[in-house]
Amino acid sequence: MDSLGIATNMSADPARLRHVSLKVERAKTHAVELGAALHRFFASTPYVVGTKHHLETRKLIYFVAAVRPAPDELPLLAGDAIQNLSTALDHLAYQIVCKDTADVPPNPRGIYFPIADDLGAYEASKARKLQGATVATLNRFDALRPYRGGNDNLWRLARLNNIEKHRLLFTVGSQAAGVHLGQNMAALLPEGFAPEMASAMQSMNLYLIPADKGFPLQPGFELFIGQADEAPNPKQEFRFELVLNEPGIAEGMNLLDTVNALVIEVERVVHELTPLL
């Protein structure tokens, strides 16, 4: 491990790895800050669930009565993390080409980590983005498959970073993430039923995930439809989540899970390519 926690190879030059490590660690700091900001948001009770009975069927309906929009802090922190991860990969590519060329790269301003939309685009651009790299180095990059359909996390990172640079904020919002089935079943038990059975049902960590999650969540969205003349259960729990929703790139993906997955992927790539330094 180096001083910043990145696994290193004994033959690698620490000076070449330093800026890469700094950017990855900065991204991890932003990810932690994002987690804390999400915790504060959920702790502020941003969702209010109401109940009503359908006029004709008399079925109980749980619905979103109120929802607060996601604060701008959340996409900003996610964008900061993603920008640092992308920069870390570009720094890595630069240092690898410098190592291959004895610090005299033929096009130092044009070195980028080659990530593309498909294999054909990758093959067409990798030599240009890594001009000066040896055949052995290019083969190591090929093994990473940094294109859509090969390594979707790297492809997603590049696309999200492009959005963050040109549009400022990601599309982030709330969606429904499930209804606690155990609590619903316990509430429907007939009177006099064994209390230990009701308790066991209530403690079950079993959630029904809706097909329609209602992104972006708005007041009036129906979360769950119960039985006719069923009494509302004041203990009924619902889950909600904050998600990225960039069409064709990250649709309805949990915001924090996505950022953390990208951090892990970049750390893995750095570990894989560090021997080239």
What confidence score (pLDDT) does residue 197 get?
55
Listed residue (52, 73, 44, 92) closest to 170, CA to CA = 73
Question: In this structure, are residues 20 and 92 in contact, taking their beta carbons and an 8 Å threshold?
Answer: yes
Instruction: Concatenate the DSSP letters of all residues of 19-64 into one string.
Output: HHHHHHHHHHHHHHHHHHHHHHHHHT--EEEEEEE-TTT-EEEEEE
Q: Return the number of other C-beta atoms located less than 10 Å from residue 12's C-beta.
A: 18
**Cα–Cα distance measured from residue 188 to residue 181, given in angstroms and rounded to the nearest whole number:** 11
Residue 169 has pLDDT above 90, yes or no: no
How far is residue 30's CA from residue 74's CA, in Å, rounded to a whole number?
10
Mean pLDDT of all residues in 118-131: 98
Q: What is the per-residue pLDDT across 109-118, written as a single tens digit (0 to 9) for each?
A: 999 999 999 9
Supply the pTM of this predicted model: 0.89
User: Distances in Å between the alpha carbon of 120 and those of 90, 125, 146?
Assistant: 21, 9, 11
